[in-house]
A and B are shown apart, each in its own frame.
Chain A
Amino acid sequence: MEVGKPLPAPGAPRTEVVHAEPAAGEEVHWEGLEQSEEFRELVRRRFRFVLPATIFFLVYYFLLPLGNGLAPDLMKTKVFGEVNIAYLFALSEFVMAWVLAYLYIRKANTVFDGLAAKVRARAGKGA
């Protein structure tokens, strides 16, 4: 599974425009930033991924105990040898978690980070 890329060593130059940002405590017009097109786009894109993904993993996760309790005969059905649906379903939860995490991280690296950098750059220019 791909994991997030390692960070540059401390002190190494970073790709993002960090230094253009206002330091903590400096005056920033937060409400203005919140209304900005870039920020709204970021929140919208993130929400569009996180909300369905969260609903999906909650439903998928609880199907397992519900299945075990409500449809025990189905879950005990053997698929090959003595390996049954219950065990394979439980294993599939791991795959599901890894796949969703991979999709989120890919999206975050390619889409969310770029949008967040735009918002920070805007703040640096005094929104």
Chain B
Amino acid sequence: MSITLVLFLIVVGITLVITAWAAGRTKTTVQFWAAGRQIKGWQNGLAIAGDYMSAASFLGIAGLIAFNGYDGFMYSVGWLVAYLTVLFLIAEPMRNTGKYTMADVLAYRMSPVPVRSAAAFSTVAVCASYMMAQMIGAGSLIKILIPTLDTNLKPYFNWEILGTRLDPSISMVGLLMMIYVIAGGMVATTWVQIIKAILLMSGAVLLTFLVMLHFGFSFGHFFDAIAGVKDKVTGLNFTQPGILYKYGQKQVFGVDLALIDNVSLGMALILGTAGLPHILMRFFTVPDGKAARASVAWAMGLIGSFYIMTTFLGFGAATLVGKANICASVVNGACVGTPNSNLAAPRLAEFLGGEFFGTTGAEFLLAFIAAVAFATILAVVAGLTLAASGAFSHDFYVNVVRTHLLHGHVSEREQVLVARITAALVGLLSIWLAARIGATANAAALVAGVAFVIAASANLPAILFTLFWKRFNTWGAVACLVGGTVITIWLVAIGPGWTVPAVKNPAFPLQNVGIVSIPLGFLLAIVGTYIGDLVKADRLSEVKFHEIDVRAQTGLGAEPNPVPA
């Protein structure tokens, strides 16, 4: 048995033990969705970091920097600064007014049936694109690093469903995340995320330390080496901006296309985070608004340190491993084969392990970093599964169908049961979808280009206006939730897209559509509100504003944290 497989099994083993423990504490809805609101601020900070730093952060950014130098670092910067939006505008008001999901906050003021349905729609769209990226990433990671596991699993997942053959590695990841969420709900998810955050930080610190050890702890030598790496196409060296964003080449409306693309990416990153359902959900797990604030502080400390280290990982891989050796399969110095096969971080680990600890060290460090990446993906998909099933079961089934359409009372028992069933459905659906699109999807583009943009164009205006704009009403909320989601997906579909290879001469020129869709989302919210006003559709939302205003700012009457039984 290879070291990689052993470490993978250890990660799986630990997480399953946690899940078994958590299952005993997951009986009521508040336990299933919000871990009984017993998570401490610092714990939630670690869990947010674990929920947030996905495969796109760890493998993706390291790869982007290893291939494109400085420009790849732009993702890191945006992903941290984003938390200022969360801290200033979202975290405390969310905890003060919400219950289990984002839609709970909106439904406070708005007409519940349309608003919850619309929020469930946008939530599922964000989670689906985010989840696909993670699962596809996990699939390629396992196939490359432990091909025997994939082959051995094959007989168990050798099913063809609706013309798509299931992928063994993806299916295994899907099954694990289903087990965590179904059995252990938010409690298991939280602790899987906390452990993953600790593993990921240790991995990044270790690699950063070894990179600097290689360069004799001299930034001068390190940067000399980085400047020695040149991009063949642009002639720039890797410390310089302009390799990924080729400024001054194409123009739209007289403005540099690369510049618009980069600014557009930035908008999605710093505004999208505050609308990610699986991150918002984390704020309901702490006892009060003050703890929500503290958890953002912890998260920012961890996430910021990690993203600064991405430059050491990425530049380290660029200088020590070299572009030609980063991909899984290399022909004539270029990466070939399946997309998402960038292995900058694992290959860097292999190199450094070999340099300092010999052949066994290389094998061990590679296996360790691969296991960290695996844990990273598991923690993120668990959070996403929980958020998506929250939208289906808590928002749609319990609050729309059963409570408002059928006027029924839904018992605790039924709510938790339905939550578990929807988690299973979400899991199965994503296993199938990931296998279906896995061969052509560009995982990183799905996260930053679709999930964050929908979150910023649909969810963010709905949340901000609900909390801070008195006139906002149901029409405005539904307009931006549905419109923002549809516009984003449409622009991405007619743009260069999220597939590999990218479409040539697309109808819409931008890879990052946020610069168009985010303002449109906000505009739809405003226009929708005024139309709603004209037809006098929703009088209640303005009356209820006084209540949500006071609650959001003061925490008065916030959902209590029940004393553990």
A interface with B by C-beta (< 8 Å): 1-7, 10-11, 21-26, 28, 30-31, 33-34, 39, 42-43, 46, 50, 53-54, 57-58, 61-62, 64-66, 68-70, 72, 75-76, 80-84, 86-87, 90-91, 93-94, 96-98, 100-102, 104-105, 108-109, 113, 116, 119-120, 123
Q: In whole angstroms, how far apart are the Cα atoms of A104 and B242 in the complex?
A: 35
Query: A residues within 8 A CB of B549?
Result: 30, 34
Q: In whole angstroms, how far apart are the Cα atoms of A38 and B76 in the complex?
A: 40
A69-B84 contact in complex given A22-B557, A39-B553, A93-B77, C-beta closer than 8 Å: no
Pairwise interchain contact A72-B287, C-beta atoms closer than 8 A: no
Query: B residues within 8 A CB of A109?
Result: 290
Pairwise interchain contact B563-A10, C-beta atoms closer than 8 A: yes
Instruction: Answer yes or no: B308 CB below 8 A from chain A CBs.
Output: yes
Report 7 cross-chain contacts, Cβ distance below 8 Å, ordered by A residue. A66-B263, A87-B311, A97-B83, A97-B300, A101-B300, A105-B87, A119-B556
Instruction: Answer yes or no: B293 CB below 8 A from chain A CBs.
Output: yes
Our pick among A3, A68, A94 for the contact of B307 (Cβ within 8 Å) is: A94
Instruction: Answer yes or no: B413 CB below 8 A from chain A CBs.
Output: no
Pairwise interchain contact B80-A90, C-beta atoms closer than 8 A: no
Q: For chain B, give the interface size range.
A: 35 or more
Our pick among B239, B247, B270 for the contact of A83 (Cβ within 8 Å) is: B239
Known: A30-B546, A116-B553. 7 other contacts (CB 8 A): A11-B563, A11-B564, A25-B557, A42-B554, A54-B89, A57-B84, A94-B307
Pairwise interchain contact B81-A7, C-beta atoms closer than 8 A: no
Q: In whole angstroms, how far apart are the Cα atoms of A50 and B76 in the complex?
A: 24
Query: B residues within 8 A CB of A62?
Result: 263, 266
Distance in Å from the Cβ of A96 to the closest Cβ of chain B?
8
Pairwise interchain contact A70-B553, C-beta atoms closer than 8 A: no
A120-B556 contact in complex given A97-B80, A101-B87, C-beta closer than 8 Å: yes
A-B contact count (CB 8 A): 203
Pairwise interchain contact A7-B296, C-beta atoms closer than 8 A: no
Query: B residues within 8 A CB of A70?
Result: 256, 259
Pairwise interchain contact B239-A82, C-beta atoms closer than 8 A: yes
Instruction: Answer yes or no: B52 CB below 8 A from chain A CBs.
Output: no
Distance in Å from the Cβ of B241 to the closest Cβ of chain A?
4
